[in-house]
Structure 1
Amino acid sequence: MESIKPSFTILITTKNRVHDLRITLAKCTDLFSYDQVNYIICDDGSTDGSHDFIAKQYPFIQLIQNKESKGLIYSRNRLLDLVTTPFAISLDDDAHFITQKPLPIISAYFDTNPASGLLAFRIFWGLEAPITTSTNEKDQVVQSFVGCGHVWRMEAWRSIANYPEWFEFYGEEDFASYELFKNNWSVDYVPQVLVQHRANVKARRNDLDHNLRLRRSLRSGWYLLFMFIPLHLVPRKFSYSIWMQFKRKVFKGELNVLLVLLLAFKDLIVNFPKLFKQGKRLSPKEWEVYSKLSPTKIYWQPSHEKITDDKL
């Protein structure tokens, strides 16, 4: 009997989060029974035994390792370079599917939407599963996607530039989305597929790396401004970004944000040559079309309570 050629590859990058990885892989048990799925995990220099855990408990998973940590974006590029299937699903090591049998939904959507380069999933952020999973949301083309749960049409990925590794963290999804738009691919939000990202968003404000996260988030937003936004809009949007940090944080006593702003601005100056070398600025007409797309769907909740994204 001829073997079934895999259609999907599930990609996971991990670093020193073996506890989260154990849960994620345990939640993938149903998918392990599919002959049409390959699995590749990149261990980004973990020192907590992640490599040995994967190798012993899941020998069928292709495991690659960065001997020294190279960062999330480097690892994602490395994983995508190894994909041989038509589609690649990217999950964080602390994220898993809630939707049962998501693969047929994904396949059907790609089959009926040939211009779709990437599917963004509905994502619930929380340590506990949502009380209800139903939604009235509809499929729609959106501006960008969230890294913790999405799927690439590999033909689309290979038509654009790799994620910019010098971003380090934050902004690579928006970079890819602009690239897709410029190459006539769409990013589609498909709420039928629900992923739980087991993260506490509010608690992140108290994490020791909060300032570093804010710095990287700010600078990536500025990088994207200078790389893709029509030039006549850049000064206003750049000034607005700075003003909102003062309004929301500095004027409310978060004086540490002043240093964050200065460091982010320094990063902008240092990387200015790369912005012009790798940028693909949208024309005013392209920007008008892009601006009319629905905003990125970051958070989903079953209630009407709104989560505020504190990255920017």
Structure 2
Amino acid sequence: MTVRIGVVGTGMIGQDHIRRITDVVTGAEVVAVTDVDIARAERVASGVGARALPTGQDVITDPLVDAVVVTSWGPTHAEYVLAAIAAGKHVFCEKPLATTAEDCLRIVEAEQAHGRRLVQVGFMRRYDQGYRAMKRVLDDGDLGAPLLMHCVHRNPTVPEAYHSEMATQDTAVHEIDTIRWLLADEIVSAQVLTPRRTTRRFEHLQDPQVMLFETASGVRADVEVFVNCQYGYDIQCETVGETGTVRLPDPADVWLRQSGRLSSGVLQDWKRRFAAAFDLEFVEWVAAVREGTLTGPGAWDGYAAAVVCDTTVEALHSGRAVEVRMKDRPAFYES
């Protein structure tokens, strides 16, 4: 069975996923696309033998579309995901699932009412081989109970439109989901520390930031977000257990011995760092759609991340630790 996919949004990430579905994934094809820029949608469609349709609703309700990928502007995500659920179609939605926790909760409730899981959210780090190796170590329990987690998310630079809240909403959201997933634990409080600002930033931006989280079981996790570090794209994670630690490996690279120095390269962007994870994410999603059983990050994960992000932004502005006020996880999402 070939899964026929409709894509809503043909910007940078949409085009990248269309290429991925076409060139990397087997058993899937893009058959319909749309975009607010219909001319761009038509160009993208012609490149893969798909049809360009006028609206996202047209793509979702098209009888030739089996499953939907939503890569449109963030504020439109809830509308399209809810429409896909109403149509009974699997839907992969790039993060955020929705731009408000209330809309995320509407999606959670709609999916439960439908009676089976249809929604997957694009938290691609769960498909990175290093993170998966960490997850296996933690699940095996060989390190005893986790006690501490240290995370780093550094970018060389960001554009002027990047503001202080985006350090949580666009950047640390990945660490927030990763913490929840690696520890199988919910975050219950957030605090943000604001160190001395780097001079290599725009005036309106607080950079770096240090976010402090506590989970329901008492694990303390810190996340350093530094988006003007200058030297590269650097992702780090370490978990400290009772009897040892487990650390995310650096991306594989050659070591250069030259002029009395030993060095290796540093990646400069997220595309190269997580290219293999993005590929595997779609390989596994298409296989799950074909089998009718989703196992990736779902609507509840999108909702939980949104609530923690909202809490962290509140903590940034208040300067104090803030309790995460989240609904109880429904049994529907326990498996």
- TM-score of the two chains, using structure 1 as the length reference: 0.34
- TM-score of the two chains, using structure 2 as the length reference: 0.32
